Structure 1
Amino acid sequence: MKTKHKDGYEWVSLAILAKEQGKSPVHLKLWYTYAEENERLDELPQCRRDFDKVTTRYLRVDQLDKLDTFGASLKRGELSQIGKKVYGDRTEYHREWYQEKKANEKPYKSNNMYINLPVKDLNRTKKFFSSIGFEFNSQFSDENSACMVINDNTFVQLLVEPYFQTFINKPVADVASAAGKIIALSADSRKHVDELADKALSAGGKQSKEPTDHGFMYVRSFEDLNGHLWEIAYMDMGTMTQE
Protein backbone atom coordinates (compact mmCIF):
# COMPACT_ATOMS: atom_id res chain seq x y z
CA MET A 1 0.00 0.00 0.00
CA LYS A 2 1.34 3.40 -0.93
CA THR A 3 -0.27 5.30 1.93
CA LYS A 4 -1.53 4.48 5.42
CA HIS A 5 -4.49 5.93 7.29
CA LYS A 6 -4.47 6.71 10.99
CA ASP A 7 -6.03 9.36 13.18
CA GLY A 8 -8.06 10.51 10.18
CA TYR A 9 -4.96 11.46 8.17
CA GLU A 10 -3.29 9.90 5.15
CA TRP A 11 0.39 9.11 5.50
CA VAL A 12 3.12 8.15 3.03
CA SER A 13 6.39 6.40 3.88
CA LEU A 14 9.54 8.42 3.45
CA ALA A 15 11.07 5.65 1.31
CA ILE A 16 8.18 5.70 -1.19
CA LEU A 17 8.20 9.49 -1.31
CA ALA A 18 11.93 9.59 -1.96
CA LYS A 19 11.55 7.11 -4.82
CA GLU A 20 8.76 9.17 -6.40
CA GLN A 21 10.78 12.37 -6.16
CA GLY A 22 14.02 10.80 -7.35
CA LYS A 23 15.74 11.49 -4.03
CA SER A 24 17.62 9.29 -1.64
CA PRO A 25 15.80 8.38 1.62
CA VAL A 26 19.06 9.29 3.36
CA HIS A 27 18.81 12.77 1.83
CA LEU A 28 15.32 13.28 3.25
CA LYS A 29 16.41 11.94 6.62
CA LEU A 30 19.15 14.57 6.63
CA TRP A 31 16.49 17.24 6.12
CA TYR A 32 14.69 16.04 9.23
CA THR A 33 17.90 15.74 11.22
CA TYR A 34 18.84 19.28 10.25
CA ALA A 35 15.37 20.54 11.19
CA GLU A 36 15.58 18.83 14.58
CA GLU A 37 19.03 20.28 15.23
CA ASN A 38 17.86 23.78 14.35
CA GLU A 39 14.34 23.67 15.84
CA ARG A 40 12.66 24.03 12.46
CA LEU A 41 10.39 20.98 12.53
CA ASP A 42 7.33 23.22 12.20
CA GLU A 43 8.46 23.90 8.63
CA LEU A 44 8.22 20.19 7.70
CA PRO A 45 5.14 17.98 7.31
CA GLN A 46 4.17 16.09 10.42
CA CYS A 47 6.29 12.97 10.79
CA ARG A 48 5.61 9.74 12.69
CA ARG A 49 8.20 7.14 13.52
CA ASP A 50 5.96 4.58 15.22
CA PHE A 51 3.38 3.85 12.54
CA ASP A 52 4.37 0.28 11.71
CA LYS A 53 8.08 0.12 12.43
CA VAL A 54 10.07 2.24 14.80
CA THR A 55 12.72 2.84 12.15
CA THR A 56 10.28 3.90 9.43
CA ARG A 57 9.14 7.49 9.03
CA TYR A 58 5.71 8.42 7.65
CA LEU A 59 4.75 11.90 6.50
CA ARG A 60 1.37 13.64 6.48
CA VAL A 61 0.26 13.72 2.84
CA ASP A 62 -1.73 16.94 3.26
CA GLN A 63 1.43 18.73 4.42
CA LEU A 64 3.92 17.54 1.82
CA ASP A 65 4.13 20.96 0.16
CA LYS A 66 6.13 22.04 3.21
CA LEU A 67 8.78 19.48 2.34
CA ASP A 68 9.70 21.06 -0.99
CA THR A 69 9.62 24.55 0.50
CA PHE A 70 11.96 23.51 3.30
CA GLY A 71 14.33 21.62 0.98
CA ALA A 72 14.62 24.63 -1.33
CA SER A 73 15.61 26.82 1.61
CA LEU A 74 18.61 24.72 2.60
CA LYS A 75 22.12 25.36 1.39
CA ARG A 76 24.41 22.56 0.32
CA GLY A 77 26.96 23.43 2.99
CA GLU A 78 24.35 23.13 5.75
CA LEU A 79 23.40 19.60 4.69
CA SER A 80 27.05 18.66 4.27
CA GLN A 81 27.84 19.64 7.85
CA ILE A 82 24.85 17.83 9.34
CA GLY A 83 25.63 14.83 7.15
CA LYS A 84 29.12 14.58 8.62
CA LYS A 85 27.67 14.92 12.12
CA VAL A 86 25.14 12.14 11.59
CA TYR A 87 27.11 9.72 9.44
CA GLY A 88 30.68 10.73 10.16
CA ASP A 89 33.34 11.71 7.66
CA ARG A 90 33.45 8.69 5.35
CA THR A 91 36.32 9.94 3.18
CA GLU A 92 38.99 7.89 4.95
CA TYR A 93 36.63 4.91 5.18
CA HIS A 94 36.04 4.90 1.41
CA ARG A 95 39.76 5.32 0.72
CA GLU A 96 40.59 2.30 2.87
CA TRP A 97 37.76 0.30 1.28
CA TYR A 98 39.04 1.11 -2.22
CA GLN A 99 42.63 0.21 -1.36
CA GLU A 100 41.51 -3.09 0.18
CA LYS A 101 39.34 -3.81 -2.85
CA LYS A 102 42.25 -3.20 -5.24
CA ALA A 103 44.58 -5.33 -3.10
CA ASN A 104 42.14 -8.25 -3.26
CA GLU A 105 41.66 -8.01 -7.02
CA LYS A 106 43.70 -10.52 -8.95
CA PRO A 107 45.42 -9.01 -12.01
CA TYR A 108 44.71 -10.70 -15.32
CA LYS A 109 47.53 -12.95 -16.46
CA SER A 110 47.34 -14.84 -19.73
CA ASN A 111 48.86 -18.30 -19.76
CA ASN A 112 49.67 -18.06 -23.46
CA MET A 113 50.36 -15.30 -25.97
CA TYR A 114 49.48 -15.42 -29.68
CA ILE A 115 50.80 -12.73 -32.02
CA ASN A 116 49.28 -12.56 -35.51
CA LEU A 117 51.32 -11.00 -38.34
CA PRO A 118 50.44 -10.52 -42.01
CA VAL A 119 53.01 -11.74 -44.54
CA LYS A 120 53.26 -11.47 -48.31
CA ASP A 121 55.00 -14.76 -49.08
CA LEU A 122 54.46 -17.48 -46.48
CA ASN A 123 57.12 -19.90 -47.73
CA ARG A 124 59.84 -17.23 -47.93
CA THR A 125 58.88 -15.96 -44.48
CA LYS A 126 59.05 -19.46 -42.97
CA LYS A 127 62.47 -19.99 -44.55
CA PHE A 128 63.67 -16.66 -43.16
CA PHE A 129 62.70 -17.43 -39.57
CA SER A 130 63.87 -21.04 -39.85
CA SER A 131 67.30 -19.67 -40.80
CA ILE A 132 67.38 -17.75 -37.52
CA GLY A 133 66.54 -20.92 -35.61
CA PHE A 134 62.77 -20.83 -35.02
CA GLU A 135 60.59 -23.91 -35.30
CA PHE A 136 57.00 -24.23 -36.54
CA ASN A 137 54.07 -26.17 -35.16
CA SER A 138 52.65 -28.05 -38.14
CA GLN A 139 49.43 -28.83 -36.23
CA PHE A 140 48.45 -25.16 -36.51
CA SER A 141 49.89 -24.45 -39.95
CA ASP A 142 48.47 -24.73 -43.45
CA GLU A 143 48.71 -23.01 -46.83
CA ASN A 144 47.36 -19.76 -45.35
CA SER A 145 49.29 -19.54 -42.11
CA ALA A 146 52.17 -20.94 -40.10
CA CYS A 147 52.54 -21.13 -36.31
CA MET A 148 56.03 -20.07 -35.27
CA VAL A 149 57.07 -21.16 -31.78
CA ILE A 150 58.78 -18.52 -29.63
CA ASN A 151 58.61 -20.59 -26.44
CA ASP A 152 56.20 -22.98 -24.74
CA ASN A 153 53.71 -20.18 -24.11
CA THR A 154 54.31 -17.68 -26.91
CA PHE A 155 53.52 -18.13 -30.59
CA VAL A 156 53.56 -15.97 -33.72
CA GLN A 157 50.95 -16.88 -36.29
CA LEU A 158 52.13 -15.79 -39.74
CA LEU A 159 49.16 -15.26 -42.05
CA VAL A 160 49.18 -14.43 -45.76
CA GLU A 161 47.68 -10.96 -46.22
CA PRO A 162 44.35 -12.03 -47.88
CA TYR A 163 43.72 -14.45 -45.00
CA PHE A 164 44.82 -11.90 -42.40
CA GLN A 165 42.31 -9.44 -43.91
CA THR A 166 39.41 -11.80 -43.07
CA PHE A 167 40.04 -11.19 -39.36
CA ILE A 168 40.02 -7.39 -39.47
CA ASN A 169 37.78 -4.52 -40.59
CA LYS A 170 40.67 -2.21 -41.52
CA PRO A 171 43.14 -2.28 -44.40
CA VAL A 172 46.31 -4.28 -43.83
CA ALA A 173 49.01 -1.79 -42.81
CA ASP A 174 51.94 -1.10 -45.09
CA VAL A 175 54.70 -1.81 -42.56
CA ALA A 176 57.35 -1.11 -45.17
CA SER A 177 56.62 2.62 -44.89
CA ALA A 178 55.22 2.92 -41.35
CA ALA A 179 55.79 1.17 -38.04
CA GLY A 180 53.09 0.22 -35.55
CA LYS A 181 54.88 -2.27 -33.32
CA ILE A 182 58.19 -3.77 -32.30
CA ILE A 183 58.33 -7.39 -31.22
CA ALA A 184 61.11 -7.86 -28.67
CA LEU A 185 62.56 -11.25 -27.73
CA SER A 186 65.13 -12.17 -25.10
CA ALA A 187 68.49 -13.87 -25.63
CA ASP A 188 70.71 -15.79 -23.23
CA SER A 189 73.78 -13.56 -23.56
CA ARG A 190 75.25 -10.67 -25.53
CA LYS A 191 76.89 -13.20 -27.83
CA HIS A 192 73.53 -14.89 -28.34
CA VAL A 193 72.01 -11.52 -29.32
CA ASP A 194 74.65 -11.07 -32.02
CA GLU A 195 74.23 -14.62 -33.30
CA LEU A 196 70.47 -14.28 -33.76
CA ALA A 197 70.64 -10.79 -35.27
CA ASP A 198 73.42 -11.77 -37.68
CA LYS A 199 71.42 -14.80 -38.83
CA ALA A 200 68.44 -12.51 -39.52
CA LEU A 201 70.60 -10.18 -41.62
CA SER A 202 72.20 -13.09 -43.49
CA ALA A 203 68.74 -14.49 -44.31
CA GLY A 204 67.65 -11.25 -45.98
CA GLY A 205 66.58 -9.06 -43.08
CA LYS A 206 67.61 -5.42 -42.71
CA GLN A 207 69.18 -3.70 -39.73
CA SER A 208 66.52 -1.27 -38.54
CA LYS A 209 68.62 0.45 -35.88
CA GLU A 210 72.18 0.59 -34.65
CA PRO A 211 72.98 -1.82 -31.77
CA THR A 212 72.10 -0.31 -28.39
CA ASP A 213 74.27 -0.91 -25.32
CA HIS A 214 72.94 0.36 -21.98
CA GLY A 215 75.48 -1.59 -19.95
CA PHE A 216 72.88 -3.74 -18.23
CA MET A 217 70.99 -4.30 -21.51
CA TYR A 218 72.23 -5.03 -25.03
CA VAL A 219 69.85 -4.83 -28.01
CA ARG A 220 70.06 -5.57 -31.74
CA SER A 221 67.21 -4.65 -34.11
CA PHE A 222 66.17 -5.89 -37.53
CA GLU A 223 63.35 -5.70 -40.06
CA ASP A 224 62.06 -8.98 -41.45
CA LEU A 225 61.14 -9.71 -45.08
CA ASN A 226 57.64 -8.28 -44.59
CA GLY A 227 58.74 -5.07 -42.87
CA HIS A 228 57.91 -6.10 -39.29
CA LEU A 229 60.35 -4.81 -36.67
CA TRP A 230 62.06 -7.14 -34.21
CA GLU A 231 64.46 -6.69 -31.31
CA ILE A 232 66.72 -9.25 -29.69
CA ALA A 233 67.79 -8.23 -26.18
CA TYR A 234 69.94 -9.52 -23.37
CA MET A 235 69.45 -8.02 -19.90
CA ASP A 236 72.01 -8.62 -17.14
CA MET A 237 69.84 -8.40 -14.03
CA GLY A 238 72.88 -8.53 -11.73
CA THR A 239 74.40 -5.43 -13.34
CA MET A 240 71.01 -3.70 -13.31
CA THR A 241 70.66 -4.28 -9.54
CA GLN A 242 74.12 -2.83 -8.87
CA GLU A 243 73.28 0.32 -10.86
Structure 2
Amino acid sequence: MKGLDIGSDRVDELAATSAILLYGRHQDRSAVYGTVHPVTQGKSGRATIGAGRPIDRMALVDCLRELAQNAAPKAEFLPETVLAVSQEAVMWWCRPAMRRVFFDCQEIGRRSAVVPHPGLVFRAASSGFSVFALQDDSRPTPESKLHEPPYFNTWDWGRICIGSAHVPKRIDIEAIGGWEDGFFESAFTHPNHGNKRVSHANGEFAFWKEMLDGKYGEQFPKDALVPMDLTLAELIAGKQGVR
Protein backbone atom coordinates (compact mmCIF):
# COMPACT_ATOMS: atom_id res chain seq x y z
CA MET A 1 0.00 0.00 0.00
CA LYS A 2 1.18 3.50 -0.71
CA GLY A 3 0.93 5.61 2.43
CA LEU A 4 1.30 9.05 3.87
CA ASP A 5 3.90 9.85 6.51
CA ILE A 6 2.08 10.53 9.77
CA GLY A 7 5.11 12.21 11.27
CA SER A 8 7.95 11.13 13.51
CA ASP A 9 6.66 13.20 16.43
CA ARG A 10 4.24 10.36 17.23
CA VAL A 11 7.09 8.01 18.08
CA ASP A 12 9.59 8.03 20.93
CA GLU A 13 12.71 6.65 19.28
CA LEU A 14 14.57 3.99 21.24
CA ALA A 15 18.18 2.91 20.82
CA ALA A 16 20.33 0.26 22.44
CA THR A 17 22.52 1.74 25.20
CA SER A 18 23.95 -1.34 26.92
CA ALA A 19 24.04 -5.13 26.66
CA ILE A 20 24.26 -7.89 29.27
CA LEU A 21 26.04 -11.15 28.43
CA LEU A 22 25.43 -14.21 30.58
CA TYR A 23 27.89 -17.10 30.83
CA GLY A 24 27.00 -20.62 31.93
CA ARG A 25 27.99 -24.23 31.77
CA HIS A 26 27.12 -26.25 28.67
CA GLN A 27 25.59 -29.03 30.73
CA ASP A 28 22.62 -27.16 32.19
CA ARG A 29 23.00 -23.69 30.60
CA SER A 30 22.44 -22.02 33.97
CA ALA A 31 24.01 -18.56 34.22
CA VAL A 32 26.96 -18.37 36.61
CA TYR A 33 28.61 -15.13 35.50
CA GLY A 34 27.62 -11.95 33.71
CA THR A 35 29.13 -8.85 32.14
CA VAL A 36 27.63 -5.54 31.10
CA HIS A 37 28.81 -3.76 27.94
CA PRO A 38 28.23 -0.26 26.55
CA VAL A 39 26.63 -0.05 23.10
CA THR A 40 27.59 2.65 20.62
CA GLN A 41 25.72 3.59 17.47
CA GLY A 42 27.85 4.01 14.35
CA LYS A 43 27.20 6.47 11.52
CA SER A 44 25.69 3.68 9.44
CA GLY A 45 23.23 2.94 12.26
CA ARG A 46 24.95 -0.31 13.16
CA ALA A 47 25.36 -0.91 16.90
CA THR A 48 28.71 -1.99 18.36
CA ILE A 49 29.11 -3.73 21.73
CA GLY A 50 32.07 -2.42 23.72
CA ALA A 51 34.32 -4.00 26.32
CA GLY A 52 32.53 -5.48 29.30
CA ARG A 53 32.85 -5.38 33.05
CA PRO A 54 31.46 -7.71 35.73
CA ILE A 55 27.84 -7.10 36.58
CA ASP A 56 27.23 -5.20 39.79
CA ARG A 57 24.48 -7.03 41.66
CA MET A 58 22.67 -3.93 42.94
CA ALA A 59 22.93 -2.24 39.54
CA LEU A 60 21.35 -5.31 37.96
CA VAL A 61 18.52 -5.31 40.50
CA ASP A 62 17.87 -1.60 39.85
CA CYS A 63 17.88 -2.20 36.09
CA LEU A 64 15.34 -5.02 36.36
CA ARG A 65 13.14 -2.90 38.62
CA GLU A 66 13.12 -0.04 36.07
CA LEU A 67 12.32 -2.44 33.23
CA ALA A 68 9.43 -3.91 35.21
CA GLN A 69 8.03 -0.45 35.91
CA ASN A 70 8.28 0.65 32.28
CA ALA A 71 6.78 -2.59 30.99
CA ALA A 72 3.77 -2.40 33.29
CA PRO A 73 0.63 -0.90 31.69
CA LYS A 74 0.08 2.72 32.64
CA ALA A 75 -3.28 3.73 34.06
CA GLU A 76 -5.12 5.75 31.41
CA PHE A 77 -8.61 6.62 30.25
CA LEU A 78 -10.11 4.03 27.91
CA PRO A 79 -12.30 5.46 25.13
CA GLU A 80 -15.51 3.63 24.27
CA THR A 81 -13.96 2.38 21.05
CA VAL A 82 -11.16 0.44 22.79
CA LEU A 83 -12.01 -3.28 23.01
CA ALA A 84 -8.89 -4.88 24.50
CA VAL A 85 -5.39 -3.90 25.61
CA SER A 86 -2.41 -6.10 26.41
CA GLN A 87 1.35 -5.75 26.35
CA GLU A 88 1.36 -7.22 22.82
CA ALA A 89 -1.70 -5.67 21.21
CA VAL A 90 -4.36 -2.97 21.18
CA MET A 91 -7.79 -3.66 19.69
CA TRP A 92 -10.46 -1.10 18.89
CA TRP A 93 -13.74 -0.57 17.06
CA CYS A 94 -14.63 1.94 14.34
CA ARG A 95 -18.26 2.89 13.91
CA PRO A 96 -19.81 2.60 10.43
CA ALA A 97 -18.92 5.83 8.68
CA MET A 98 -18.29 7.64 5.43
CA ARG A 99 -14.53 7.75 4.82
CA ARG A 100 -12.35 8.44 1.82
CA VAL A 101 -10.57 5.59 0.06
CA PHE A 102 -7.77 5.68 -2.50
CA PHE A 103 -7.18 3.24 -5.36
CA ASP A 104 -4.20 2.89 -7.66
CA CYS A 105 -4.51 -0.26 -9.75
CA GLN A 106 -4.83 -1.17 -13.42
CA GLU A 107 -8.38 -2.52 -13.21
CA ILE A 108 -9.85 0.52 -11.40
CA GLY A 109 -7.31 3.22 -12.15
CA ARG A 110 -6.25 6.04 -9.84
CA ARG A 111 -9.46 7.00 -8.10
CA SER A 112 -10.59 8.37 -4.77
CA ALA A 113 -14.01 8.90 -3.22
CA VAL A 114 -15.80 9.13 0.10
CA VAL A 115 -17.68 5.85 0.53
CA PRO A 116 -19.59 4.04 3.31
CA HIS A 117 -17.70 1.58 5.52
CA PRO A 118 -19.12 -1.09 7.82
CA GLY A 119 -18.25 -1.27 11.49
CA LEU A 120 -14.63 -2.38 11.76
CA VAL A 121 -12.40 -3.99 14.36
CA PHE A 122 -8.71 -3.11 14.16
CA ARG A 123 -5.88 -4.94 15.93
CA ALA A 124 -2.38 -3.47 16.13
CA ALA A 125 0.06 -5.99 17.57
CA SER A 126 3.74 -6.81 17.72
CA SER A 127 2.95 -9.60 15.24
CA GLY A 128 1.24 -7.30 12.72
CA PHE A 129 -1.75 -5.09 11.83
CA SER A 130 -5.18 -6.53 11.02
CA VAL A 131 -8.78 -5.47 10.35
CA PHE A 132 -12.16 -7.23 10.46
CA ALA A 133 -15.68 -6.19 9.43
CA LEU A 134 -18.92 -6.31 11.42
CA GLN A 135 -22.57 -6.77 10.44
CA ASP A 136 -23.86 -4.81 13.44
CA ASP A 137 -23.60 -1.03 13.75
CA SER A 138 -23.29 -1.03 17.54
CA ARG A 139 -20.23 -1.66 19.68
CA PRO A 140 -19.32 -5.36 19.36
CA THR A 141 -19.56 -7.84 22.22
CA PRO A 142 -17.36 -10.90 22.83
CA GLU A 143 -19.95 -12.99 20.94
CA SER A 144 -19.90 -10.76 17.85
CA LYS A 145 -19.12 -12.62 14.61
CA LEU A 146 -16.29 -11.17 12.58
CA HIS A 147 -16.25 -10.89 8.79
CA GLU A 148 -13.57 -10.64 6.14
CA PRO A 149 -12.35 -7.07 5.55
CA PRO A 150 -13.87 -6.03 2.20
CA TYR A 151 -10.63 -4.33 1.15
CA PHE A 152 -7.71 -4.86 -1.17
CA ASN A 153 -4.22 -5.32 0.34
CA THR A 154 -5.45 -7.72 3.03
CA TRP A 155 -4.45 -11.31 3.68
CA ASP A 156 -6.35 -14.13 5.37
CA TRP A 157 -7.19 -13.66 9.07
CA GLY A 158 -7.57 -9.93 8.45
CA ARG A 159 -3.87 -9.23 8.11
CA ILE A 160 -3.12 -5.91 6.43
CA CYS A 161 -0.34 -5.66 3.86
CA ILE A 162 1.27 -2.46 5.13
CA GLY A 163 3.61 -2.03 2.16
CA SER A 164 4.90 1.54 2.05
CA ALA A 165 2.20 2.88 4.39
CA HIS A 166 3.53 4.77 7.40
CA VAL A 167 2.14 3.46 10.68
CA PRO A 168 3.23 4.20 14.26
CA LYS A 169 6.03 2.24 15.86
CA ARG A 170 4.14 2.36 19.13
CA ILE A 171 1.33 -0.02 20.05
CA ASP A 172 -0.79 1.84 22.57
CA ILE A 173 -4.06 3.73 22.87
CA GLU A 174 -2.56 7.10 21.96
CA ALA A 175 -1.31 5.70 18.65
CA ILE A 176 -4.72 4.42 17.48
CA GLY A 177 -5.33 7.46 15.27
CA GLY A 178 -2.00 6.95 13.54
CA TRP A 179 -2.76 3.31 12.81
CA GLU A 180 -6.14 4.22 11.30
CA ASP A 181 -4.59 6.97 9.17
CA GLY A 182 -1.94 4.57 7.93
CA PHE A 183 -4.69 2.27 6.68
CA PHE A 184 -7.25 4.70 5.25
CA GLU A 185 -4.77 7.17 3.73
CA SER A 186 -2.99 4.45 1.75
CA ALA A 187 -3.86 3.43 -1.80
CA PHE A 188 -5.45 0.03 -2.38
CA THR A 189 -3.41 -1.54 -5.17
CA HIS A 190 -4.49 -5.19 -5.54
CA PRO A 191 -6.55 -8.00 -4.01
CA ASN A 192 -4.30 -10.42 -2.13
CA HIS A 193 -4.43 -14.18 -2.58
CA GLY A 194 -6.44 -16.22 -0.10
CA ASN A 195 -10.04 -16.26 1.03
CA LYS A 196 -12.87 -14.42 -0.69
CA ARG A 197 -13.12 -10.88 0.73
CA VAL A 198 -16.33 -9.61 -0.90
CA SER A 199 -19.53 -11.36 -1.96
CA HIS A 200 -20.41 -9.84 -5.33
CA ALA A 201 -21.67 -11.49 -8.51
CA ASN A 202 -18.97 -9.85 -10.63
CA GLY A 203 -16.09 -9.88 -8.16
CA GLU A 204 -14.20 -7.36 -6.05
CA PHE A 205 -13.25 -4.99 -8.89
CA ALA A 206 -16.89 -4.54 -9.93
CA PHE A 207 -17.89 -4.09 -6.29
CA TRP A 208 -15.41 -1.30 -5.67
CA LYS A 209 -16.20 0.43 -8.95
CA GLU A 210 -19.82 0.58 -7.79
CA MET A 211 -18.72 1.87 -4.39
CA LEU A 212 -16.59 4.60 -5.96
CA ASP A 213 -19.47 5.55 -8.29
CA GLY A 214 -21.73 6.07 -5.25
CA LYS A 215 -24.19 3.26 -6.04
CA TYR A 216 -24.85 2.44 -2.37
CA GLY A 217 -25.28 5.97 -1.05
CA GLU A 218 -24.31 6.27 2.60
CA GLN A 219 -25.09 2.66 3.60
CA PHE A 220 -22.51 -0.05 3.18
CA PRO A 221 -24.10 -3.13 1.50
CA LYS A 222 -23.79 -5.64 4.32
CA ASP A 223 -24.84 -8.55 2.10
CA ALA A 224 -21.41 -8.16 0.49
CA LEU A 225 -19.64 -9.12 3.73
CA VAL A 226 -18.12 -12.60 3.92
CA PRO A 227 -18.41 -14.27 7.37
CA MET A 228 -15.38 -15.75 9.12
CA ASP A 229 -15.26 -18.61 11.59
CA LEU A 230 -14.15 -16.20 14.30
CA THR A 231 -15.71 -14.24 17.16
CA LEU A 232 -14.35 -11.15 18.86
CA ALA A 233 -13.66 -13.19 22.01
CA GLU A 234 -11.57 -15.65 19.99
CA LEU A 235 -9.66 -12.80 18.39
CA ILE A 236 -8.90 -11.31 21.80
CA ALA A 237 -7.79 -14.72 23.08
CA GLY A 238 -5.45 -15.11 20.11
CA LYS A 239 -7.11 -17.94 18.18
CA GLN A 240 -4.61 -19.73 15.96
CA GLY A 241 -4.09 -17.76 12.76
CA VAL A 242 -4.54 -14.29 14.29
CA ARG A 243 -1.60 -14.17 16.66
Q: Same fold (TM over 0.5)?
A: no
Looking at secondary structure, tell me which structure has more strand per residue: 2
TM-score (norm 1): 0.22
Larger radius of gyration between Structure 1 and Structure 2? 1
> Whose helix fraction is larger, Structure 1's or Structure 2's?
1
The alignment's TM-score, normalised by the length of structure 2, stands at 0.22
More RCO (CA 8 Å, sep 6+): 2
